[in-house]
Amino acid sequence: MTAAATHDVIVVGSGHAGCEAALAAARMGCRTLMIAPNLDRVGYMPCNPSIGGPGKSQIVAEVDALGGAMAMAADATAMQVRQLNMSKGPAVRAIRIQCDKALYAIVMKETLETQSNLRLIQDEAVGLIIAGDDQPEVIGIRARISGDLHAASVVITAGTFLRAKMIAGESQSAGGRAGDSGDTHLSASLDGLAFRLRRFKTGTPPRIDARSVDVSRTQPQPGDDTELWMSRAGESGSLAPVQLPPAASGIFASVARLGGRDQVRCYQTTTSPEAHDIIRENLHRAPMYNGSIEGTGPRYCPSIEDKIGRFADKTSHPVFLEPEGWRSHEVYVQGMSTSLPADIQDEVVRLVPGLEDARITRYGYAVEYDALDPTELRRTLESQRVSGLFFAGQVNGTSGYEEAAGQGVVAGANAAARALQLPELVLTRQDSYIGVMIDDLISKPFNEPYRMLSSRAEYRLLLRSDTADARLAPVAHRLGLIDDERYEVVNKETQTIEQTIAALESTWLGANTRHGQALEAEGLQAPVRSLTALDVARRPHTSLSGVIRSVQSLGLWKGPDLDEVPLARTEIAVRYGAFIDKERKEALRHQANEFRLIPSDLDYAAVTGLRVEASQHLAASRPPSVGHAARTAGVTPSDIGALLVHLARLPAHSPP
């Protein structure tokens, strides 16, 4: 850092990655500057007005555990809350919150504005200031209005704006989203530094007037009537909702009190064979098919024309009608992302049951943009090419608000750690979903936008949302991302769960009348032999609270009193204890090899038992560790076994 540096960290961009990066750096005590071309777009939701879902709510829980703001903003502005995958195990259950998108942005901006050490400025970053030739180092940015701004670290969160263009049918215009121009200068600056850039594509569906929808032809989807929170603030009752009175008309005018908050209904319908026919007949006008779009779109969020092309045997696809805000009359048509011409969108929408008279307020469009090849990044999300330069969010080739936020908090924390000369924040596949995502990004080649899926996490039973605080609070506290009070609360909860399990394990229930009657009074089966209370609690369809009440009635309970939240977490830990222990041992075994370093000059051709294909892939990618090597394309477990045998014969290397 030069003596002229006036900031410790500069964050370029104010989307979900930029918000979390700036907040993390400022919380750690850095003089932080966020620069964005439009401060009215801070924390803006340009696409789906929701937070969470499978694989995503787990990331949000981890962002919250690291002191981030996404979960709090979602809880505060919720219009509907649902828990998904309830028929499955706790590892893949997920919360999804439908937010008021305008209020979400207001809450997020206020959070940034009131954060100490953080300054916001409306300006445009047009280039990077680099020092050094042999070992380039970023020392600041060049802004269009403010001129040169110096800092020890810079975080780029440019989203979908690098050389971005919006496309709908035959129409094309520069821009990363409707109403915002694209960024050519910063992209050119990165290109000039020889960064590898890829061309990706994303899209958004049309919005329609809520008053033009016939919900009698749709299936209502109410929120859940149980208290569901993403954030610790919401869970503890210390979060005030930010809400407007509902609209006077339209399909979201009716509000029900569910789960302790006001909620609206969403509605489900489907596309029709007639709509599919119209799309097929006009694929020649679809930019994805006529060559107007070069970039690759997200596999797990395809456009409706892509669905028709890829799944020709399907006669319908699900469509969800979701609110944009309490006082908005616009409906987000989830499942119909498209870049078809406006006239075709009009025809197709009106062939969807319930939308026969729909009036489109905003037409769908695609966005094509430059994304960095994230294999150029370190685990800290710092560039290998330019020291002090960090990247987070969709600029790294990911899709989704949640993935962006997860990267943002890591990049911001590490940018601050570099400026303050503190230990880095390095998350792994064994300790977090964010660690899984970052490891995937930096070690695997992706030819399409990356989306977090619960199936990507090998240890998802350990990485449940309810364990995020216990897993990440120690490192968050060490770096100053959470304060002493929160850390003490998390530690107390962890101790309470451990004490409860220990009390259950040390309490014996015998095959006698007195013990049997105590259990039967709670609707539990009497034991036919002596068992610990822990064994009883692990029986199928057994309530932990019932077991504890039985033990208390016998005067045998030596554990703590449990509130509702720790009780639910303890019940999961008890019921799946054997599986959790097995997975934890497996994670520790893999972690032992994860950071085993590979010499940069290793001759893979000399590794006995390594297949030729694997040798070629490893020689080309030069993975720094065995963990990276295991996730290299074309490398099998047997190849890793051969590599480990070879490395065992070499002098030991220390972890990074």
Residues 266 and 336 in one domain: yes
Is 22 in contact with 416 (CB distance < 8 Å)? no
Domain membership of residue 136 as a residue range: 7-45+102-199+369-453
Beta bridge partners of 125: 143
Strands 118-122 and 330-334: unpaired
Answer whether residue 70 is part of any domain.
no
Residues 31 and 150 in one domain: yes
Answer whether residue 267 is part of any domain.
yes
Residues 360 and 374 in one domain: no
Residues 610 and 573 in one domain: no
CATH number assigned to the domain comprising residue 537: 1.10.10.1800
- Domain tally, the chain: 4
In this structure, the number of other CB atoms found within 10 A of the CB of residue 512 comes to 11
Beta bridge partners of 140: 129, 150
Residues 280 and 309 in one domain: yes
Residues 177 and 230 in one domain: no
Cα separation of 118 and 66, whole Å?
18
Cα separation of 71 and 306, whole Å?
32
Is 120 in contact with 146 (CB distance < 8 Å)? no
- The enclosing H or E element of 177 equals none
Q: State both tokens at 525.
A: 């089966």
Residues 504 and 552 in one domain: yes
Residues 356 and 490 in one domain: no
Cα separation of 295 and 370, whole Å?
9
pLDDT value, residue 55: 92
Residues 336 and 291 in one domain: yes
Please count the CA atoms within 13 angstroms of the CA of 94 that sit on its side-chain side. Answer: 20
pLDDT value, residue 194: 87
Answer whether residue 54 is part of any domain.
no
pLDDT value, residue 148: 95
Is 483 in contact with 31 (CB distance < 8 Å)? no
Answer whether residue 635 is part of any domain.
yes
Parts of the chain with a pLDDT under 70: 1-5, 290-291, 637, 652-656
Which three-class secondary structure state does DSSP give residue 627?
A: helix
| Cα dist from 449 to 292, 371, 594, 610, 615, whole Å | 19, 9, 25, 31, 28
Answer whether residue 162 is part of any domain.
yes
- HEC sequence for 416-482: HHHHHCCCCCCCCCCCCHHHHHHHHHHHCCCCCCECCCHHHCCCCCCCCHHHHHHHHHHHHHHHCCC
- pTM, to two decimals: 0.89
pLDDT value, residue 656: 43
Cα separation of 189 and 163, whole Å?
11
Which three-class secondary structure state does DSSP give residue 342?
A: helix
Answer whether residue 416 is part of any domain.
yes
Cα separation of 27 and 258, whole Å?
35
Strands 207-209 and 330-334: antiparallel
Q: State both tokens at 346.
A: 């009009």
CATH number assigned to the domain comprising residue 446: 3.50.50.60
Cα separation of 362 and 206, whole Å?
5
Cα separation of 375 and 440, whole Å?
9
Within 8 A by CB and 6+ apart from 116, the residues are 26
Is 605 in contact with 580 (CB distance < 8 Å)? no
pLDDT value, residue 333: 97
| Cα dist from 199 to 301, 336, 385, whole Å | 17, 22, 20
pLDDT value, residue 3: 40
Residues 290 and 232 in one domain: yes
Residues 518 and 547 in one domain: yes
Q: State both tokens at 382.
A: 């710092």
| Domain final residue pick, 319, 350, 368 | 368
Cα separation of 530 and 508, whole Å?
7
Cα separation of 271 and 130, whole Å?
52
Is 245 in contact with 262 (CB distance < 8 Å)? no
| Domain final residue pick, 333, 368, 403 | 368
Residues 161 and 29 in one domain: yes
Within 8 A by CB and 6+ apart from 135, the residues are 387
Answer whether residue 473 is part of any domain.
no
Within 8 A by CB and 6+ apart from 110, the residues are none
- The position carrying tokens 């070629």 is 616
